[in-house]
């Protein structure tokens, strides 16, 4: 691999663009955090790198589009993956017209439905972790906090995080976005599964420290 160009510096990893085996690639390097104990730092970076690579392969096998993983170096917390040209869904949402927005949100619902049906949770599901590629496909990224889990709680946390990303960034259309997303999500999972998950989402939100709905009386 030759010249690497830093293209993004996220919260936990630096992303470099380069060429690898003739492919246009992204090198994701989880950087050491000087504010973490050295031992904890090693565990966190190694675990997340391994999880991300494993789950991306699994997701791909389920028909959820993710950048293709080409190489993993656990010792250095590095993953080399296909470069996807495009835009973050977060930035795209405001620009797209309603029909396009609906189509992408529904497709995201289908993707997340497929993951959840197979007991995979993303762990950091926000509109910043979805790419709309220049050729119109939708890719999910950033699986570092993903898990294999059949626990309804973990699936519900995914939905809760996505809802909050709608509410904190796309507040004016958060209801609309959620409706589209759920349409796709329900098309994959059984009504019972969806109900269980959505009830748990409600419960998680009520568990938050300060939630108005829990208030029972006025004094």
Partner 1 sequence: MIVVGIESTAHTFGVGVVEDKHPYILADKRVNYIPSRGGIHPREAALYFMDNAVNVLKEALLEARLSVKDVDGIAVALGPGLGPCLRVGATIARALATYFRKPLIPVNHAVAHIEIGKLLTGFKDPLIVYLSGGNTMILAFSDGRYRVFGETLDIALGNFMDTFVREVGLAPPYVVNGVHKLDMCADEGRNFINLPYVVKGQDVSFSGLLTAALKLFRGGVYDLRDICYSVREVAYTSIVEVSERGLAHTKKKELLVVGGVAASKVLRTKFEVLSALRGVKLGVVEPKYAVDNGVMIAWTGLLALKYGVTVEPERAYVRQRWRPDSVDIPWMS
Q: Using CB under 8 A as the criterion, which residues of the chain lie in contact with partner 1 when the complex forms?
A: 9-12, 33-37, 39-40, 43-44, 123-126, 128, 145, 157, 161, 164, 167-169, 171-172, 204, 207-212, 214-215, 218-219
Q: How far is the CB of 124 from partner 1 (least distance, A)?
A: 4
Q: How far is the CB of 191 from partner 1 (least distance, A)?
A: 26
Cβ nearer to partner 1, comparing 1 with 31: 31
Give CA separation, 193 vs 24, 43, 121, 210, in Å.
39, 34, 14, 28
Report helix angle 98-117 to 152-169, nearest 10: 160
H helices of the chain, in order, are 38-61, 89-92, 98-117, 152-169, 174-188, 191-207
Cβ nearer to partner 1, comparing 50 with 100: 50
178 and 160 Cβ atoms separated by less than 8 Å: no
Q: Tell me which residues are annotated as active site.
A: 124
Q: How far is the CB of 216 from partner 1 (least distance, A)?
A: 10
Cβ nearer to partner 1, comparing 59 with 125: 125
The span from the CA of 125 to the CA of 112, in Å, is 9
Q: How far is the CB of 156 from partner 1 (least distance, A)?
A: 11
List the one residue out of 92, 67, 41 whose CA is nearest residue 143: 67
Cβ nearer to partner 1, comparing 97 with 212: 212
The span from the CA of 48 to the CA of 146, in Å, is 8
């Amino acid at each position: 691999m030759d010249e690497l160009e830093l293209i993004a510096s996220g919260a936990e990893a630096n992303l470099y663009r380069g060429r690898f085996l003739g492919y246009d690639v992204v090198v994701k390097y989880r950087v050491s955090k000087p504010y973490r104990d050295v031992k904890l730092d090693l565990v966190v970076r190694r675990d997340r790198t391994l999880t991300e690579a494993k789950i991306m392969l699994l997701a791909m096998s389920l028909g959820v589009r993710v950048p293709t993983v080409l190489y993993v170096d656990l010792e250095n917390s590095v993953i080399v993956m296909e470069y996807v040209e495009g835009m973050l869904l977060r930035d795209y949402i405001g620009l797209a017209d309603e029909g396009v927005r609906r189509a992408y949100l529904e497709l995201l619902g289908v993707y997340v439905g497929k993951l959840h049906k197979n007991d995979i949770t993303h762990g950091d599901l926000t509109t910043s972790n979805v790419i709309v590629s220049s050729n119109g496909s939708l890719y999910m990224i950033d699986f570092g906090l993903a898990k294999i889990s059949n626990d309804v709680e973990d699936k519900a946390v995914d939905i809760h995080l996505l809802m909050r990303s709608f509410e904190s960034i796309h507040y004016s259309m958060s209801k609309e976005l959620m409706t589209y997303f759920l349409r796709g999500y329900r098309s994959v999972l059984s009504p019972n599964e969806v109900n269980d998950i959505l009830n748990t989402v409600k419960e998680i939100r009520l568990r938050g420290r300060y939630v108005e709905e829990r208030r029972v009386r006025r004094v």
